[in-house]
Amino acid sequence: MSTNSLKQIGQLGQSVWYDNIHRDMLDAGELARMVMEDDLRGVTSNPTIFDKAISRGDTYDAAIARALQEEPSLSAGELFNHLAVADIRDAADVLRPVYDRTQGVDGMVSIEVSPALARDTDATIAEARRLWAWIDRPNVMVKVPATKQGVPAIETLIALGINVNVTLLFSVQRYLEVVDAYLAGLQQRARRGERVSHVRSVASFFVSRVDSAIDPQLDDSLAELRGTAAIANAQRAYAHFEDIFDGRRFADLRDLGAREQRLLWASTGTKNPDYSDVLYVEALIGDRTVNTLPPATYEAYKDHGEPRARIHEGIDQAPHILKRLESAGIDMAAVTAQLERDGVQSFLDSYNNLLRSLEEKARSLAA
């Protein structure tokens, strides 16, 4: 067996994706190297990642200048889409052999609809369709936030045959709504006689932020519960995943060639320095899942990760842990609802900052 811990995760049934993208890693061949050496199987992006990549430094200046030379009237938002689509296309081309080898299970690159549309179902659908057609790669996923308004958009997009990465999932209840939307979208296609075997989706369930929100609410008498809520919450979601996609409810779609909507563990970088820097990777290794790792966590796990399929360890105790938290006054529904609001706002802040930076760069380059 390989000594590369990241490769070993793949051998345990979990796909490692990279939660980062920038032009330098594409131009320098870094992404191709990671695919070859680490068995990297996908890339995710979000407005914060693009904000860091484009706003800091001059890597994108030449591309900005070219785009404005060809279309001087581009708004900052349109300019961003030009830059992002170019990166996503190039990353998708690097990962296309992974997509082909895994028959469409992996090799995916994700791009997010504008966070300004998170509460607008129709606008989200329109933006996702536009990005899907523009990028024109089968191994792309359009990221749609799992807001109340995002859920019906997910159903519509799946029914249209568009790959969807459902993002900003914090609560198990909302996860179940997302699964319902995925299945309903596939069923629409099946009723129309359209194939379902090529449609892919992941449900990005955010992890570490749950502990960051709950730990400070636990006094010393409940110290043993610190650092347990996020993993228990994720394990509850995984138990539902197995019940649904291995059960009778999915049987007819499975017979038509449909694939399960895999759970993707997001926000798996450790934010509390008292915890292991690979805590949320180790605990959630499980079959038919994805973990998208930010750069620091990716390097940490490659250096000292100890892969073992652990997702079922303590999974029967997850409801008990969450019940104890509830008894201690933790309102999980309120916590996860606030995390969703904060997540949407954080991405919107990054997006607005990015647009301001692009406006400044455009003025500077024009001068």
Q: Which of the 8 DSSP states describes residue 193?
A: T
pLDDT at 338: 98
Catalytic position from the list 7, 143, 323, 361:
143
Active site residue 302: no
Task: Check whether 362 has a pLDDT greater than 90.
Answer: no
pTM of the model: 0.96
Q: How far apart are CA 146 and CA 115, in angstroms?
A: 11
pLDDT of residue 1: 43
Q: Which two tokens stand for residue 130?
A: 């536009």
User: Which segments within 37-135 are labelled E, that is strand?
Assistant: 42-43, 108-112
Say how far apart CA 83 and CA 50 lie, in whole Å: 9
What does each C-alpha distance from 156 to 96, 151, 189, 200, 260 come to in angstroms? 26, 9, 10, 14, 17
Q: Which residues contact 243 (CB under 8 A, 6 or more apart)?
A: none
Is the predicted pLDDT of residue 230 greater than 70, yes or no? Answer: yes
| Among the listed residues 207, 184, 331, the one whose alpha carbon sits nearest the alpha carbon of residue 272 | 207
**Distance (Å, whole) CA 254 – CA 259:** 7
Q: Look over the chain and give the mean of its residue pLDDT values, rounded to a whole number.
A: 96
In this prediction, residues 240-259 reach a mean pLDDT of 98
pLDDT of residue 4: 92
211 band by pLDDT with thresholds 50, 70 and 90: very high
Is 48 or 149 the better-scoring residue by pLDDT?
Answer: 149
In the chain, the domains with their CATH numbers are: 5-366 (3.20.20.70)
pLDDT in tens, 119-154: 999 999 999 999 999 999 999 999 999 999 999 999
Model pLDDT for residues 55-80, shown as the tens digit of each residue = 888 899 999 999 999 998 999 999 99
Share of the chain above pLDDT 70, in %: 99
Residue 186 tokens read as 């596939």
